[in-house]
Structure 1
């Protein structure tokens, strides 16, 4: 059966040339469009990471879904990943925001697209980037998926607390060793020292404990006040988080509504996790990669699909 949409390999220029995939409905004539802004890490346009090998295809699935609703979509390899140029480990938060801005400008200049109806969709870290982008580019609407609406420091502190609790709760010999050597206390101290080092540094990156740290990226996130920019949004916003999301507190999605009640619609989807798939059990940091891999071929959560369809139908 012939697909209802066409995929094109495209490129656009920000600070570096970025490569991506443009999807268009086959009957494309001045259609609305969605730019997909991906989450953190060196993932490509589809949401896949080369090492450790994780193939989720979450953004490929989202592109197909939105195109089925009559939207064009653009998803792209982050700078320094996939086929895009640049250095990923030297890119800051605002570099990624400016790359997304160039993506919006590219969409607005396509003959098949209605330049007055260009939306952005941010997933995970992409939520923060989409909110920041709104201050730089006129948008028809914003879709925020599985993100945080608190400071980066607050989010890191919450994630560390959850991980350390899971480590302490491990049973058997592994749990005994972790508690005996006090690994959770050691890691907490190391993390605090690392954040202090990042905030006092002016370098783009440096080595820390045999790992290259993107200091510029984290420093800019730590200094960014996402809540101030949420208040400034003056276009329709759909904010969705899953109740089984282990990476963010799902209740935070209502912060966006409280800060901007006129433009924001907030939803928590029951039994949905961070990668927008159905999940009955509670997730954990320790097994998160393994669990995501096992769900990679699952369809997008049915209720999520319903909520998005209803929201976009009059946009």
Structure 2
């Protein structure tokens, strides 16, 4: 399989036709110096490989080189990868010596006069390809994560920050574009020490739909981490790849970091307390669950720390809010690669039981609140534990996981310049993948690499989940909240969930709230589309959303006393 189709390529799912993005403002040359760093590659929480990367800055430009190895259905060995840039970040050359599944690859690309000229051998096949390329494209080879430092060094400069879209060269016949949809300054905690990091959320529209890549850097632009939630890929600098490290995305004044026991491992969590409380008072508590795109406790989606901000709003209303890192991520133990939606519900139950044993928490007034797929886990947890007093579902899908994946893909394809026949083919392929994952049959008709990516406990549980069936078994008071401008999970899902809960469910108290002018991130918006996220001027959660939740929780908990 040619290197441009390697299963480890982020771009395998994301590469699109060459972008027409225009040139960006030039940036100053980096200060002279040479640094070498190691990176660990994780897939679904398990170590899958490593890279050793060297970055050298001179008066003439920047050279990023490295070597590494990735394990998979076909091992990837990178003996040498090197990308060279000029002073203005115009690509000068790219060289690769590697093997994929034992097949040798030797490629050299030069970039004369707005073109990319690639020559060499790719697993026995001769390559001699010339592609048109926008000026100052970023070179991101699909087997060399270290190349992202060219992007992070530009992003931390004022000139590059003003440019929100980057043309990208992946390899011969493979170009794309990435767009910055969010940027924030966060803190990384390693043991008891913390330091500032810059986090950039990048969006890609590709053959299998829209995906998000999170890139982290320090203030100098040095690459710290590359995170691809949809593929469950995490590339972290070695000193940050320990279980004692986590990114502090957002904090409230009354946050308290805690560690609590789960099923044979610990969960890293944060309690957010009301600003004032009586010394002997037992407070009601709310457990927050993030959607599939967010692995760590603050629930960052589209650059907005949804759970972090929601925790603060809930604490302001007099409740204790708890958010936690998913198993295998941040400061939580356990194995992410074997975790399912049911396991996420079990971890939520571990938090509920831990809260119930505390003297400062009222064990009879504990609610679970979930966002998107996190709402599914919240519903599932409620069916397993009667001590959960209330459930809040935010922006939850109303169809099965299989139907949901196809709905997402259709939405993205409708907004891409893709021929109708190709759209049909992509939907048909995804349908066959979904069927194989759920039934275990039909894999022989699909590429082996597809099974490696898709046949996981998490994806199996996601596709098989039917919120309608689970909703019928929820007995607790239930609040369904949805933004009317939600483009990721359209508000029509709210109507269907409400009808199921009210007509078929066992809950005797079901309330449905649609909030005007609010998107999937629960922030005020104009269109609600993902492409709007980068231009949002107000990244605070809508007061209409938080007021609806807090008012309902107050009224519901009052009835429990």
Quickly name the TM-score band, shorter chain normalised: 0.7 to 0.9
Q: Is the contact made by 1:5 and 1:67 (CA closer than 8 Å) also made in structure 2?
A: no
Instruction: Report the counterpart of residue 292 of structure 2 in structure 1.
Output: 40
Q: Distance in 1 between matches of 2:300 and 2:352?
A: 22
Q: Is the contact made by 2:383 and 2:475 (CA closer than 8 Å) also made in structure 1?
A: no
Q: Distance in 1 between matches of 2:457 and 2:529?
A: 30
Which of 141, 148, 160 aligns to 2:397? It is 148
Which of 277, 284, 306 aligns to 2:547? It is 306
Instruction: Report the counterpart of residue 431 of structure 2 in structure 1.
Output: 192
Larger RCO (alpha carbons 8 Å, 6+ apart): 1
Question: If each structure's helix is expressed as a fraction of its own residues, which one has the higher value?
Answer: 1
Deviations 1:102-147 (A, max 9, x none): 0111111122110000000010101111111111112111111011
Q: Is the contact made by 2:406 and 2:430 (CA closer than 8 Å) also made in structure 1?
A: no
Moved over 6 A (4+): none
SS for the counterpart of 1:19 is strand
Tell me, yes or no, if structure 1 residue 111 matches structure 2 residue 363: no
Q: Distance in 1 between matches of 2:539 and 2:353?
A: 33
Question: If each structure's strand is expressed as a fraction of its own residues, which one has the higher value?
Answer: 2
Instruction: Report the counterpart of residue 53 of structure 2 in structure 1.
Output: none
Instruction: Report the counterpart of residue 306 of structure 2 in structure 1.
Output: 58
- Where do 5+ consecutive residues of structure 1 fail to align? 168-174
Tell me, yes or no, if structure 1 residue 17 matches structure 2 residue 266: yes
Instruction: Report the counterpart of residue 419 of structure 2 in structure 1.
Output: 179
Instruction: Report the counterpart of residue 162 of structure 1 in structure 2.
Output: 411
Tell me, yes or no, if structure 1 residue 267 matches structure 2 residue 519: no
Instruction: Report the counterpart of residue 170 of structure 1 in structure 2.
Output: none
SS for the counterpart of 1:115 is strand
Deviations 1:46-105 (A, max 9, x none): 0137xxxx6421111000000000000110000111111123232111111111110111
Greater CA drift, 58-67 or 297-306:
297-306
Compared CA separation, residues 197 and 257, structure 1 to 2 (3 A):
closer
RMSD value, Cα:
2.7
Cα drift, residue 152 of structure 1: 1.2
Q: Distance in 1 between matches of 2:389 and 2:496?
A: 22
Instruction: Report the counterpart of residue 349 of structure 2 in structure 1.
Output: 101
Compared CA separation, residues 33 and 153, structure 1 to 2 (3 A):
same
SS for the counterpart of 1:34 is strand
Compared CA separation, residues 226 and 4, structure 1 to 2 (3 A):
closer
SS for the counterpart of 1:62 is helix
Deviations 1:11-48 (A, max 9, x none): 12223311010112231520100000110035210013
Q: Is the contact made by 1:46 and 1:75 (CA closer than 8 Å) also made in structure 2?
A: yes
Q: Is the contact made by 1:201 and 1:215 (CA closer than 8 Å) also made in structure 2?
A: no
Compared CA separation, residues 309 and 74, structure 1 to 2 (3 A):
closer
Greater CA drift, 222-231 or 112-121:
222-231
Tell me, yes or no, if structure 1 residue 127 matches structure 2 residue 375: yes
Deviations 1:245-298 (A, max 9, x none): 1111212213333223332101111111111001112414xx3xxx43544862
Greater CA drift, 251-260 or 153-162:
251-260
- Where do 5+ consecutive residues of structure 2 fail to align? 1-250, 442-446, 503-507
Instruction: Report the counterpart of residue 221 of structure 1 in structure 2.
Output: 462
Compared CA separation, residues 244 and 135, structure 1 to 2 (3 A):
same
Q: Distance in 2 between matches of 1:31 and 1:207?
A: 52
Cα drift, residue 195 of structure 1: 1.3
Which of 231, 256, 277 aligns to 1:27? It is 277
Q: Distance in 2 between matches of 1:89 and 1:245?
A: 30
Which of 267, 276, 282 aligns to 2:522? It is 276
Tell me, yes or no, if structure 1 residue 257 matches structure 2 residue 498: yes
Aligned pairs, number: 292
Compared CA separation, residues 226 and 78, structure 1 to 2 (3 A):
same
Which of 239, 243, 246 aligns to 2:487? It is 246
